[in-house]
Amino acid sequence: MLSIKNLHASVEEKNIIKGLNLDVKPGEVHAIMGPNGAGKSTLGYVLSGRDGYEVSEGEATFNGKDLLELEVEERAREGLFLAFQYPVEIPGVSNMEFMKESVNAMREQRGEEPLTAAEFLKKAKEACKQVQLPLDFLKRGVNEGFSGGEKKRNEIMQMILLEPKLCILDESDSGLDVDALQVVADGVNSQRDGERSFIVVTHYQRLLDYIKPDFVHILADGKIVKSGDASLALEVEKSGYAFLGKAYEEAEA
Amino acid sequence: MSQWLEQVIDAAQISDYLAPVRQQALEKLKADGWPARRNESWRFTPLTPVEKREAKQAVQADSLPVPAIDNLNAIDLVFVDGVLVTQVNTLDVPAGMSITSLNNDDAATQQAISSVYGQVKPTRHMFGLVNDALCQHGIFINVEAGAKVDTPVRIVNMSSQNVDAHTRVVVKVAEGASATVIEQGFGDTESLTTAFAEYDLADDAHLEHYRFAMFTGKAKQLGGSHFKLHNRTTLNSTMVGYGSELSRLDVDIHHAGEFADAKMNAIYLLAEGELFDLHSTIEHAMPNGTTEENARGIVGDKARAVFNGRIHIHRDAQKTLAELNNRNLLLSRRGVINTKPELEIYADDVKCAHGATVAEIEEESLYYMLTRGISRSKALVMLNFGFIQELINDVPNTAVREWLAPILSERFAQMEVK
């Protein structure tokens, strides 16, 4: 599904990703953990194609296509979904209009007819209920005035509606209380179907109690320095990132 | 002095019933001369494309097909290269309205025209004076007292060859009457059009007005729409400006009676390298008048928008309510907006507000939408067209609104963000 080889990327001429390798197969859940500043969020931005994130070396293929050659919207239409750590507020564009437009962009990609307003409304209402957001959130501006937890749930709602092939969840657990965390995790788990893959980027092990990863990777200084199964996350939880060396202990402090 | 203005002054020898006004205009043109570079009225709008031009008018012109406004059942009057190509006397005009050429032999009609021609439009507009002196093709629309004319009159200016076109529209709407007038101009070839319109709106009259200044490319347009409002007159005006090598629109709304109500919405969408300049002046000379003016524009790469909005509230104009707002979106760092709202208030019991803003593309919002698979052009329209769409939604005529919405969003979608 996704194959990243020796990826190097920089932001404002500062190297952040320094030789990252990662293989994600259909249906797998990969957790990426790591200290602050390791490049966790940068990875999501680079894969989604954000402006200003320059790839200097390496490759990334997604379903056989050269991901790095595609525009941001083309990557999304190929089935790459990024759930933002800090979802953007867009006053003036309703959540409904926003999601209908994106769902129909995906449908067009698959050669399907666009949904009518009524058809879309039905789907949106179901998704809205699933992530336990009040229905009037559909009418409000995108993320406008939403609390942190509501924004995260809105991201999961979009994920459910867009039916992507690969979901990158960028710290979808940050700032959530236990109940909200459960809603987000349930939303994600409902989308696990043996085909859809997930990259769960998180600082804490907590989310992984709810979303069971197949693999856990530790990202430090722009590379994956250790990989293992779910037990690696528990190890990190217990003893922190101390094993990475002194510099990271300080970063954590 | 410019070569063009000298030739204009030499050419202006028309001895008809409008000669006194023409002569006055000519005298003022001679006295004022070509505007100096620092002239406040032209400070951000260089007249170089006209300065060394050859002043030459078309003797005749062929009728050209006029693009329709779908579902709009209007009376069309067409000028091509400044020549009126519509046979005015064969038009089917609704009861209570008459449409005549400025060239007519009827003394009463001539007198009616003379009461408006050069009387509503202030004399400070240089190209208005040129139009006063040189205009040979124009039309007069008269709406009788109490007549409610639903059928819009559409006046189209088209340019097809490299000549100067000077056209004039004179409109009188009598007591309690109502009318709809659409002024539309387009063309992109090398040309110069001065299209001026004067509206004398009597007590309780209502005018729905549109001006679509859609000349582009090398077509230079220097025009104006000027309104005189009396007691309880209502004016609802919508203007749309595209830019060209040189595009300037002057608007004057004169509250000469009490309780008049003027609403003006202006939209400008400037593609790469275009210039559009909107100067509006609202004179509140009498008490209890209301003005609401919204000018909103999007400025593309290397394009320049100039907005000057003046509201002048005279000493006697107590209880005036006036609002002026200008909002802009820049699509590129190389685009330029010069905006200047001016309030000049001499009465002490008035409510006035003005404001101007310039915004840029929200990169983060755009990125967010792209990650959801929405195309760049669609995302830009969704993010940035809302404030223009609001003014489109405000267009009172359904057919005009439905015609305008797609052509403007299409024009915007084709403008590149750099």
Per-residue model confidence as pLDDT tens digits over A16-70: 999 999 999 999 999 999 888 889 999 999 999 999 999 999 999 999 999 999 9
CB contact under 8 A, B365 and A88: yes
CB contact under 8 A, B382 and A93: yes
Q: Model ipTM? A: 0.94
Please tell me if residue A97 touches chain B, with a CB cutoff of 8 Å: yes
CB contact under 8 A, B382 and A98: yes
| 3 state SS for chain B | CCHHHHHHHHHCCCCCCCHHHHHHHHHHHHHHCCCCCCCHHHCCCCCHHHHCCCCCECCCCCCCCCCCCCCCCCEEEEEECCEECCCHHHCCCCCCEEEEECCCCCHHHHHHHHCCCCCCCCCCCHHHHHHHHHCCEEEEEEECCCCECCCCEEEEEECCCCCEEEEEEEEEECCCCEEEEEEEEEECCCEEEEEEEEEEECCCCEEEEEEEEEECCCEEEEEEEEEEECCCCEEEEEEEEECECCEEEEEEEEECCCCCEEEEEEEEEECCCCEEEEEEEEEECCCCCEEEEEEEEEECCCCEEEEEEEEEECCCCCCCEEEEEEEEEECCCCCEEEEEEEEEECCCCCEEEEEEEEEECCHHHHHHHHCCCCCHHHHHHHHHCHHHHHHHHCCCCHHHHHHHHHHHHHHHHCCCCC
CB contact under 8 A, A105 and B370: no
Q: What is the mean pLDDT of residues B177-204?
A: 97
pLDDT of A237 > 90? The answer is: no
pLDDT of A253 > 50? The answer is: no
Contact status, residue B151 vs residue B179, Cβ threshold 8 Å: no
pLDDT of A250 > 70? The answer is: no
| pLDDT tens figures, A83-97 | 999 999 998 789 999
CB contact under 8 A, B374 and A105: yes
Give the integer Cα–Cα distance in Å for B221 and B199: 20
**Residue B260 phi, psi dihedral angles, 5° rounding:** -80, 150
Would you state the pLDDT for residue A246? 55
Q: Which of A220-224, B196-200, B230-234, B287-291 has the lowest mean pLDDT?
A: A220-224
User: Best residue in B362, B370, B371, B381 to probe A by mutation, most A CBs within 10 Å?
Assistant: B371
Please tell me if residue A162 touches chain B, with a CB cutoff of 8 Å: yes
Give the integer Cα–Cα distance in Å for A93 and A70: 26
Contacts of B362 in chain A (CB under 8 A): 90
Would you state the pLDDT for residue A243? 75
SS3 A95: helix
| pLDDT tens figures, A194-232 | 999 999 999 888 899 999 999 999 999 999 999 999 999
| pLDDT tens figures, B366-388 | 999 999 999 988 898 888 888 89
The mean pLDDT value of chain A amounts to 91
Would you state the pLDDT for residue B351? 96
pLDDT of A251 > 50? The answer is: no
Would you state the pLDDT for residue B14? 83
pTM of the model: 0.82
Provide the 8-state DSSP code for A126. H
CA–centroid distance for B36 within its chain: 24
Contacts of B327 in chain A (CB under 8 A): none
Give the integer Cα–Cα distance in Å for B284 and B257: 9
CB contact under 8 A, A73 and B365: no
H/E element, A246: helix A246-252
To the nearest 10 degrees (0 to 180), the angle between helices B126-134 and B19-32 is 140
Would you state the pLDDT for residue A234? 87
H/E element, A169: strand A166-170
Contact status, residue B336 vs residue B349, Cβ threshold 8 Å: no
User: Best residue in B327, B365, B374, B380 to probe A by mutation, most A CBs within 10 Å?
Assistant: B374
Would you state the pLDDT for residue B320? 97
Q: What single letter denotes the amino acid at residue B335?
A: G
Q: What is the mean pLDDT of residues B337-351?
A: 95
pLDDT of B332 > 70? The answer is: yes
Q: Using 50, 70 and 90 to split pLDDT, how confident is the model at A252?
A: very low
Give the integer Cα–Cα distance in Å for B388 and B409: 9
| pLDDT tens figures, B307-323 | 999 999 999 999 999 99
Please tell me if residue B418 touches chain A, with a CB cutoff of 8 Å: no
CA–centroid distance for B100 within its chain: 22
User: Best residue in A41, A46, A47, A72 to probe B by mutation, most B CBs within 10 Å?
Assistant: A72
Would you state the pLDDT for residue A3? 97
CB contact under 8 A, A109 and B373: yes
Please tell me if residue A127 touches chain B, with a CB cutoff of 8 Å: no
Query: How many angstroms away from the CA of A141 is the closest CA of chain B?
Result: 11
| pLDDT tens figures, B225-235 | 999 999 999 99
User: Best residue in B327, B362, B369, B376 to probe A by mutation, most A CBs within 10 Å?
Assistant: B369
Contacts of A100 in chain B (CB under 8 A): none
Would you state the pLDDT for residue B385? 86
Q: Using 50, 70 and 90 to split pLDDT, how confident is the model at B352?
A: very high
∠B224-B296-B274 over CA atoms, to 5°?
65
Give the integer Cα–Cα distance in Å for B84 and B157: 9
Please tell me if residue A159 touches chain B, with a CB cutoff of 8 Å: no
Please tell me if residue A117 touches chain B, with a CB cutoff of 8 Å: no
Please tell me if residue A151 touches chain B, with a CB cutoff of 8 Å: no
Chains A, B: CB contacts under 8 A, how many?
A: 67
Sign for the CA dihedral angle at A174, A176, A182, A185 comes to negative
pLDDT of B95 > 70? The answer is: yes
Beta carbons within 8 Å of A111's beta carbon, 6+ residues apart: none
Query: How many angstroms away from the CA of B307 is the closest CA of chain A?
Result: 25
Query: How many angstroms away from the CA of A124 is the closest CA of chain B?
Result: 15
Please tell me if residue A73 touches chain B, with a CB cutoff of 8 Å: yes
Comparing alpha-carbon positions, the chain B residue that sits nearest to A83 is: B371
Would you state the pLDDT for residue B277? 98
The C-alpha R_g of chain B, in whole angstroms, comes to 21
Contact status, residue B212 vs residue B184, Cβ threshold 8 Å: yes
CB contact under 8 A, A90 and B376: no
Please tell me if residue B372 touches chain A, with a CB cutoff of 8 Å: yes
Please tell me if residue A84 touches chain B, with a CB cutoff of 8 Å: yes
Q: Which of A226-240, B146-160, B175-189, B276-290 has the lowest mean pLDDT?
A: A226-240
Please tell me if residue A98 touches chain B, with a CB cutoff of 8 Å: yes
| pLDDT tens figures, B35-63 | 988 899 999 999 999 998 999 999 888 88
User: Best residue in B362, B368, B393, B418 to probe A by mutation, most A CBs within 10 Å?
Assistant: B368
Please tell me if residue A77 touches chain B, with a CB cutoff of 8 Å: yes
Q: Which of A143-147, B205-209, B274-278 has the lowest mean pLDDT?
A: A143-147
Q: Using 50, 70 and 90 to split pLDDT, how confident is the model at B191?
A: very high
The mean pLDDT value of chain B amounts to 95
